[in-house]
Structure 1
């Protein structure tokens, strides 16, 4: 009964000073909401990175050879020979450039890639209508093209482009296929491109040798072995490790996740400082409250209240302020996360674990920073308290 009376008196004290109580809780509210927002955005960013690299393929290695001329490039046969490495599922050399594509009065500057049929398997690009590039197209340097969905929409609108002609830098190509939409990734749009046969691109772009190719492994576990064998082969070819670069999606994901986790932890730590500041604010206000209510404490002790009753009352008041601030902070933080999800291009994940941690932490702050003022109130001598104005 005495406990519930202490709770009632503590709540009445908080309610009777609404503005002061709110300002006291403000530090906790800001700290909790900031932590939830920062961690949620960090989790969402990590998830987006993993999804995008997952779409690209985590069992994919991209090799870039730097420099110019045949001494800083590979021949087609040298690249295709990597198919013989154990654990390799496919190899796709690529020649890249930029062209102006035109159809009637519509034109667009777009990325052009010279590819072989293996590109479809290695890069996981498939046609929604028509066909993909064939070996015979490269053999006879056919002027055929496969359009990305965005490029097709820009040039042809809702019209089916398959079977129609398109002009690339003034040269006429026959459209034989339309790619499925792949959306955007960290590397840019996958739908704003045009694919043509590799041999045709070699002549069209006036370039010799392969400087970019992708290697797809059978499983993700084959990545380290295949990567090491590729590096060994390229080292023997160029005698210089800086002449080539092997891009590993798995390593990039891990590196970016570590960087983002470090940044999120740093920001969450900074936001957490405001929780400590909020706790100090609660302790300060509670000490002020004890000083203001010295006479009240004396009267309660004079009519029989024990030291533990006074201690519990002020502890409850401190915990109530802190936990209520924590709950309000959770609501504000989740609201900000929801707003971020509405106005950002990637889906937001809610850091529910931080919601629980924040609530517990705010409760603990109420206990820790309420001990000093509550103990001060409990130790007041009744005679001294009663003669205080």
Structure 2
């Protein structure tokens, strides 16, 4: 008997729930134009907000990952447009430690002959970089240090520096281009670009050639290898840029253009040491020649500030759109209430409370928000995936995963729901103040 009563009661509840859902959906979708106008404006704002935040989070996640080696190796990098004097360097070593690599990077142009691979013409462009020691874990890229490894031969040694040996360490792609994969012991004849002045203008021309023996080959990053293979497939010609490493004592370039990078690593207390070192640089009067400075802390601060500034601009733009969307929702819901004057009056006549009317209106506003959020979420993911694959972050696009943070999803949901519910306040107030007599007059 109890089972029958329980089953009967459950059926009543289910039927009532089905009726309520179908009733509210029919009311909600009664006017398709009103529904479309109410949702589309919120949908546009939500899509812009969600897409922008997801793309920014994805890109900056990649940026933080790119510089993560600075944190792992406790690196601080200083790049000067000339060499730091011995006394200043001694003070920096006392502050930062003696684990130091010195890179003197000098532009030297490119090899004068092109290479052909699969009908693609390749021009090899390189930077000659003089080092006081070569550690393939700390290889220079165009704008930051990347971890690598020595896959063949050896690096630059103290003996190479003392005896000024004509030796060079190259990357594996260059080895493949020049020697078909077996470059150890081979020689490279490098055109040396020198600075010459003609009619008051500075020009870089070939002034000499240097013959250097390959003693080591370091591994290219996965990004470099991927990009190189992609460009081979997509282009009839390309320029491949790389870094060559030679002993710091081997001065091959007749030029005043020299960037000197001092790379301190395995620092015990990075935050304290970088503050002390910066004070030394300022006090010693060499701050003006400091071209660049990187530590993981400084990189994180800079990226975070940039990310915050961009997000603030996005919020302002989205805020303006949401204000317009809110006005549209208010107008649409007021019109909806006027259409349902009689219906609301009948509900009041059969005992519906003001709270029931308010809940119905707020539920309608919440439904606008829910549908807008779901559409924004799905479309934004699709847009992000397309952009991350086809927009030309040429050298890094394939490495940027789509990062969707929980707080981004929550932010979009809360903002959209809040706008839609707040927009329902005025229509709900109007509906709750209606009287049965007013509805009959309207009829």
- Bin the TM-score by the shorter chain: 0.7 to 0.9
Instruction: Please report the TM-score for the alignment, with normalisation by the length of structure 1.
Output: 0.83
Which of the pair is proportionally richer in helix?
A: 1
Distance 1:80 1:310, change over 3 A: closer
1:212, distance to aligned residue in structure 2 (A): 1.2
Which one of 147, 151, 156 corresponds to residue 133 of structure 1? 156
Which one of 297, 310, 314 corresponds to residue 263 of structure 1? 310
State how far apart, in whole Å, the 2-side matches of 1:314 and 1:147 are.
71
Residue 181 in 1 paired to residue 220 in 2? yes
Q: Is the 8 A contact 1:182 1:191 kept in 2?
A: no
1:247, distance to aligned residue in structure 2 (A): 0.9
What stretches of structure 1 of length at least 5 have no aligned partner? 68-72
Distance 1:24 1:178, change over 3 A: same
Which one of 203, 225, 242 corresponds to residue 192 of structure 1? 242
Q: Please tell me the root mean square deviation across aligned C-alpha atoms, in Å.
A: 3.4
Name the residue aligned to 2:266.
Answer: 218
1:173, distance to aligned residue in structure 2 (A): 1.6
1:30, distance to aligned residue in structure 2 (A): 1.4
Residue 274 in 1 paired to residue 324 in 2? no
Q: How does 1:1-389 map to 2 (within 5 A)?
A: 7-56=21-70, 59-66=74-81, 73-74=83-84, 81=90, 84-100=93-109, 102=111, 106=115, 108-120=124-136, 123=139, 124-156=147-179, 158-169=180-191, 170-182=209-221, 192-200=242-250, 202=251, 204-206=252-254, 212-219=260-267, 221-225=269-273, 228-229=276-277, 231-232=279-280, 235-236=283-284, 239=285, 241-245=287-291, 247-249=293-295, 250-344=297-391, 345=397, 346-389=400-443
1:385, distance to aligned residue in structure 2 (A): 1.3
State how far apart, in whole Å, the 2-side matches of 1:22 and 1:139 are.
78
State how far apart, in whole Å, the 1-side matches of 2:34 and 2:322 are.
17
1:229, distance to aligned residue in structure 2 (A): 4.0
Q: Is the 8 A contact 2:78 2:261 kept in 1?
A: yes
1:256, distance to aligned residue in structure 2 (A): 2.4
How many residues end up aligned between the 2 structures?
376
1:337, distance to aligned residue in structure 2 (A): 2.3
1:6, distance to aligned residue in structure 2 (A): 5.6
State how far apart, in whole Å, the 2-side matches of 1:211 and 1:255 are.
23
1:118, distance to aligned residue in structure 2 (A): 4.9
State how far apart, in whole Å, the 2-side matches of 1:173 and 1:132 are.
14
State how far apart, in whole Å, the 1-side matches of 2:59 and 2:432 are.
50
SS of the counterpart of 2:403? coil
1:286, distance to aligned residue in structure 2 (A): 0.7
1:195, distance to aligned residue in structure 2 (A): 1.0
1:153, distance to aligned residue in structure 2 (A): 3.8
What stretches of structure 2 of length at least 5 have no aligned partner? 1-12, 116-122, 140-146, 192-208, 229-239, 392-396
